[in-house]
Amino acid sequence: MRSALAGAALALAGSLGSAVLGAWWLARDLPLTQPLERLYAAIFLALAGGTASLVWSGLGRSPASMAWRACAWLPALALGLWLDA
């Protein structure tokens, strides 16, 4: 029970964290000239990505799998942001 709760919490935190990092990356690098357009495109796309990530991680076969599915994006996005900085 506790490991399931921990898995769910990690899935939630990982998905939200991935959505925030994804939004940050999109707002900076989307090929749109208007800054406001870039900002709101990033918000919409991050919400869609975050929801998909939440559902996908929620379907993991074990708590570890749930956490892995949600959090695997985090280092990739963080690395991409760092390399692109």
Partner 1 sequence: MGLDRARLGLLHGSAGAAFGVLLWMVLFSGAWSLGYASLQDWAQPPAGAAADLLPLERLLARATGQTAGLDELSLILPSAARPTLDICTGREGCPWRLDARDGRPLDTLSALDLPRRLHKTAFMGFPGRVLVSLFGLLLLVMVLSGLLLQRRRLASLVRLRGAGRARVLHGLLGGWSLPWLVLFGVTGALSGLGALGTLLLAPVVYPQQPQRVFAELMAPLPPPARGEPAAQRVDLDELLRRDAARVPGFLPREVRLHHAGDAGASVEIAGFTLGVPSTPLFERHLYRADGTWLTDATARSRGAWVRAFIAVQPLHFARYDWLGGWSGLLAGLHLAMGLAACALVASGLWLWLQRRQGERRARWLARLALGLDGGLLLATAGLLLAVQLQVRGWLPDAVPGRVFLGLWGASLALPWCVPLRSCCRAGAALTALACMLAAASHLLAQAGQGGAVAWPVDLSLLLAGLACTGLAWRTGHSPGAASPFSIPVGDRHA
Q: Helices H, strands E: what count in the chain?
A: 4, 0
CA-nearest of 36, 34, 24 to 80 is: 24
Name which of 55 and 76 has its Cβ closer to partner 1. 55
Contact 74, 19 (CB under 8 A): no
Write the DSSP symbol of residue 31: S
Interaction of residue 39 with partner 1, rule CB under 8 A: yes
> Is residue 47 close enough to count as binding partner 1 by CB under 8 A?
yes
Instruction: Figure out which of the listed residues 32, 72, 74, 78 binds partner 1, where binding follows CB under 8 A.
Output: 32
Interface ranges with partner 1 (CB under 8 A): 8, 20, 23-24, 27-28, 32, 34-44, 46-47, 50-51, 54-55, 58-61
